[in-house]
A = this chain, B = another copy of it.
Amino acid sequence: MADPSKPAHHEDGGSTAKRGKPTLRTIAEITGLAVTTVSRALSDAPQISLDTRKRVREVADEIGYSPDRAAQRLKTGRTNVIGVLLDPHEEILGYGTSIMSGIAKALQGTAFHLIVMPNFLNSTNVEAVNYITRNGMADGLIFSRTEPLDPRVRLLSDLGFPFVTHGRTELSTPHPYVDYDNFTFSYQATKRLIAKGRRKPALISGPAGFTFAGHLQHGFMTAVREAGCAYEILSGIDLDSPAGEIRDRIRQRYAEPGPPDSFMCGGEVCALATITGMSDCGLTLGREYDIVAKQTSHLLSAIQPQVETIYEDLTATGEDMGRVLLQKIGGESDASKLQLLLCPQIPASFGTAG
């Protein structure tokens, strides 16, 4: 079908030998069209006749054409890559992996790939962000562990570079985010402890500096203030502390007077460590004390069904973040569509009397 009349400057046009990946030229030669036409046809440009579009698509499918990402990227400047900043802290309990699964799910069927940007390449996360944006390594960025005045958010906002955070900031410029409503979680969890008759709940706070830590504390404080009961915020440890440290701290606390009688735990490891520490002191969960915890895997409730849990679906979160970022990259500027506050599923049992 190829027209032999027009001069081919190359000995072999690429259609016969060079059985490498098919390119636009391969299709052009098969259909007898020009490369440009094929390119436009495949991108469904309205200026190409419907007939041609269909024929080109058929041939493309038949020979298994898929566009060369490097060439597209070189020409258009867009990378079709979404970067995730991977934090070493996220190794716990599949946190990072769950989120990545979700993002990948959202990216499925799009031209975008997911690439992991481990932050220990650069000493700080900001440097990593700087590097990525300056070198155009991605079209969008996703990251967690957001701080109230997060410098990464500042930088990216200034640059107009698309991103989504897991967690909110307190910066005045609105930006896309997906966040779990940790205030409500913490508030409801603490209220639940009080409803069960506990009179001195303790909070193991989030790691200092992160926005969600404040939300957790705020929810906790609101609940204890409403009830007018005693409370304690355990010093020296947080949700990032290794299980061993949490356990030791609990044990140590019980050697002192006026210990708490219940715990609001923002994570599974934390809850498990607390239980172990309490058990060391001879105290039994559900009898001498209670725990309400956030769960992100299904481990805790299987191992310790006594702990009442509220589930946070990180895979769904990742999927939301992916979707939001795609919208942002697609040009959506309506902030309300780019900000998601996910509502905790409070188990029905929480409603019933303790």
Task: Tell me the A residues contacting B by CB distance below 8 Å.
Answer: 21, 64, 66, 68-71, 73-74, 79, 86, 88, 90-98, 100-101, 104-105, 108, 113-116, 118, 120-121, 134-137, 242-244, 247, 269, 272-273, 275-276, 297-299, 301-304
Contacts and interface: CB of A to CB of B under 8 A. Distances in A.
Contacts of A86: 97, 100-101, 104
A13 to B, nearest CB: 19
Nearest to A246: B302
Given A70-B79, A91-B94, A94-B93, A243 B298 contact: yes
Contacts of A116: 100, 104, 114-116
A243 B70 contact: no
Given A21-B136, A71-B74, A101-B88, A303 B94 contact: no
Nearest to A298: B242
A276 B305 CA distance: 10
A301 B276 CA distance: 11
Nearest to A100: B116
Contacts of A135: 21, 66
A95 B97 contact: yes
Which one of A70, A100, A115, A118 has the highest number of Cβ atoms from chain B below 10 Å of its Cβ?
A70
Contact of A91 (B74, B98, B244, B276): B98
Given A71-B74, A272-B299, 20 more contacts: A64-B134, A66-B135, A74-B74, A91-B101, A94-B96, A96-B100, A101-B118, A101-B120, A104-B121, A108-B121, A114-B115, A115-B115, A116-B116, A242-B298, A243-B302, A243-B303, A244-B302, A269-B299, A273-B302, A276-B303
